[in-house]
C-alpha cells in the first residue's frame, strides 16, 4: 500500500496531505548528520529506519538525536544506538478511523505502516501544520543592545532592524514564532528604541500583541525581565533579538515542561579544528600526537525558556546577563537544563555574520 495521498477528517473539514512517504526511509548505518539532513529535507519529523534488506527496524526522531548528542555522540556517530526499536506500527489494511483513534490515544503525529514481512510500506501523518496549535505563552525579545561589533551598520539603525531578505532580523523572529502559535510579544528596547517601536507598533500589522520594556541603561541579556509589571502565569520564551534560527519554539516549550525545569537554555554544538598538530606530553616525555584535533563544545544559542518565578530573583534596573541568572537558579537548587539543537542557527553579531544571513535569505535562495 503506497500512501501517496491521505485525507484526514478533523472537525468535519477534510485536510488533504500529499507527500512521498519514501523520503522518510533511512538506512541503519547512517550517521547522525545524515539523519538530521533526512529529517530536515522530508519535513515529516520522523525517519523510518530499515536494514539493508529493507526490513523495518524502528524509528528515529529529533528527540532521539538530541538524547544521543547529550550522551556524547557526535555528528559522525552511527544512529544504531539511538534507534527506537519498540515503535507502534500498523498494518496496511487498517482502516482510517482506527488509525486516527490510535494516533489520538497515543499522542502521535506520525504512524509507520509495516506489512506482515516487516517491510515498511507507508507512513500516516497527522498534518498539524494545517491547524497550528495556539499557545498562550509569551515571547520576550531582547532588543536593547548597541550592536557595536556591527558598526557602521548600527550607527543609525538598531541591530534588530537590520534587514535580512528584505525585512528586519526581528521580524523574521516574530513571524516564525507567530507561525508556531505565539501571539503575545514583549520587546525590551534601549539603543534607538524609538525606531523599533515605530516599526513594530502594537503588533496589529501582524495580528499580534506587542508590549515594550524600556531600559534606562543597558541591563544585559536578562536584566530587562525585572522591568516586567505583569508576571507571566506560564513558562515564557526569551530570545536575543539578533538570533536567526529554524528552532521550533513549541517543541522547546514542551521539552522544558517535560523535564520540569526552572530554566532551559538552547545550545548549539560548535566544532573547532586546531590549525596545528598537537603534541601530548608528560613532563618532557612525548606520550602522543594528535593531528589537527577537533574540539567540540556546546555554546549558548541565545534562546531560553524560563518559569515565572525567575523574575522574582531580579531587581529593577539592575544589570544581569543570562548565564548569571542561570547560575543564580543553580545556587537556589532550581533545575536548569539544556536543549541541544541542530537546526540552522546564526547569531548576527558581526559584519560577516550579517553578510552570511543576507546571502542565505536572498530572493535567489
Residue 137 lies in a domain: no
46 and 182 co-located in one domain: no
The answer to whether the bond into 255 is cis (omega within 30° of 0) is no
Confidence of residue 364 (pLDDT cuts 50, 70, 90): low
Identify whether the C-beta of residue 221 lies closer than 8 Å to the C-beta of residue 322: yes
| Mean pLDDT in residue range 140-153 | 81
Confidence of residue 3 (pLDDT cuts 50, 70, 90): very low
Identify whether the C-beta of residue 24 lies closer than 8 Å to the C-beta of residue 123: yes
Domain boundary, last residue among 130, 165, 184: 130
104 and 62 co-located in one domain: yes
> For 333-358, what is each residue's pLDDT tens digit?
999 999 988 777 666 767 666 667 67
113 and 160 co-located in one domain: no
Residue 135 lies in a domain: no
101 and 188 co-located in one domain: no
Reference 102, options 90, 91, 114; nearest CA is: 90
Residue 311 lies in a domain: yes
Indicate the helix (H) or strand (E) that contains 323: helix 322-331
Total domains present in the chain: 2
Alpha helix stretches (DSSP H) within 154-248: 169-179, 193-200, 220-223
Give the per-residue pLDDT at 357.
Answer: 67
- Judge whether residue 130 has pLDDT over 60: no
| Mean pLDDT in residue range 246-273 | 87
> b or e along 175-192 (b: 16 or more beta carbons within 10 Å of the residue's beta carbon)?
ebbbebebbbbbbbbbbb
Q: What is the mean pLDDT of the chain?
A: 83
Full residue range of the structural domain in which residue 37 is found: 5-130
C-alpha cell at 39: 529529517
Distances (CA, A) of 22 to 25, 27, 45, 228: 6, 12, 13, 49
Gap between the Cα atoms of 60 and 148, Å rounded: 43
pTM of the model: 0.65
Domain boundary, last residue among 130, 154, 179: 130
Confidence of residue 241 (pLDDT cuts 50, 70, 90): confident
156 and 117 co-located in one domain: no
C-alpha cell at 149: 561589533
> For 19-70, what is each residue's pLDDT tens digit?
478 888 989 889 999 999 988 888 888 999 999 888 999 999 989 999 999 9
- Judge whether residue 133 has pLDDT over 60: yes
- Judge whether residue 91 has pLDDT over 50: yes
Q: Which residues are catalytic?
A: 292
Give the per-residue pLDDT at 247.
Answer: 86
Cell 515503535 -> residue: 87
Amino acid at each position: 500500500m503506497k500512501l501517496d495521498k491521505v485525507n484526514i477528517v478533523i472537525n468535519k473539514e477534510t485536510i488533504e496531505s500529499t507527500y512521498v512517504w519514501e523520503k522518510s526511509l533511512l538506512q541503519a548505518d547512517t550517521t547522525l548528520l545524515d539523519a538530521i539532513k533526512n529529517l530536515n529535507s522530508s519535513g515529516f519529523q520522523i525517519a523510518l529506519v530499515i536494514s539493508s534488506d529493507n526490513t523495518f527496524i524502528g524509528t528515529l526522531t529529533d528527540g532521539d538525536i538530541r538524547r544521543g548528542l547529550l550522551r556524547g555522540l557526535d555528528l559522525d556517530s552511527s544512529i544504531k544506538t539511538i534507534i527506537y526499536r519498540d515503535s507502534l506500527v500498523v498494518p496496511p489494511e487498517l482502516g482510517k478511523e482506527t488509525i486516527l483513534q490510535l494516533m489520538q490515544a497515543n499522542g502521535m503525529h506520525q504512524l509507520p505502516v509495516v506489512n506482515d514481512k516487516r517491510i515498511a510500506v507507508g507512513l500516516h501523518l497527522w498534518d498539524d501544520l494545517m491547524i497550528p496549535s495556539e499557545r498562550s505563552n509569551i515571547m520576550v525579545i531582547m532588543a536593547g543592545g548597541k550592536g557595536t561589533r556591527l558598526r557602521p551598520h548600527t550607527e543609525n539603525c538598531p541591530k534588530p532592524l537590520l534587514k535580512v531578505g528584505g525585512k528586519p532580523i526581528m521580524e523574521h523572529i516574530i513571524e516564525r514564532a507567530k507561525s508556531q502559535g505565539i501571539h503575545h510579544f514583549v520587546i525590551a528596547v534601549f539603543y534607538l528604541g524609538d525606531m523599533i517601536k515605530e516599526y513594530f507598533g502594537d503588533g496589529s500589522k501582524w495580528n499580534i500583541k506587542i508590549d515594550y520594556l524600556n531600559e534606562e541603561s543597558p541591563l544585559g541579556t536578562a536584566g530587562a525581565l525585572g522591568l516586567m509589571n505583569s508576571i507571566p502565569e506560564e513558562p515564557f520564551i526569551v530570545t536575543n533579538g539578533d538570533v536567526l534560527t529554524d528552532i521550533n519554539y513549541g517543541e522547546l516549550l514542551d521539552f522544558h515542561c517535560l523535564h520540569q525545569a526552572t530554566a532551559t537554555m538552547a545550545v548549539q554544538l560548535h566544532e573547532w579544528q586546531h590549525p596545528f598538530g598537537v603534541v601530548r606530553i608528560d613532563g618532557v616525555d612525548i606520550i602522543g600526537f594528535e593531528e589537527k584535533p577537533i574540539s567540540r563544545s556546546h555554546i549558548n544559542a541565545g534562546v531560553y525558556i524560563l518559569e515565572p518565578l525567575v523574575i522574582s530573583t531580579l531587581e529593577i534596573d539592575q544589570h544581569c546577563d543570562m548565564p548569571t541568572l542561570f547560575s543564580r537558579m543553580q545556587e537556589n537548587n532550581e533545575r536548569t537544563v539544556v536543549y541541544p539543537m541542530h537546526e540552522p542557527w546564526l547569531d548576527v553579531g558581526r559584519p560577516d555574520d550579517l553578510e552570511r544571513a543576507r546571502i542565505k535569505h536572498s530572493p535567489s535562495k
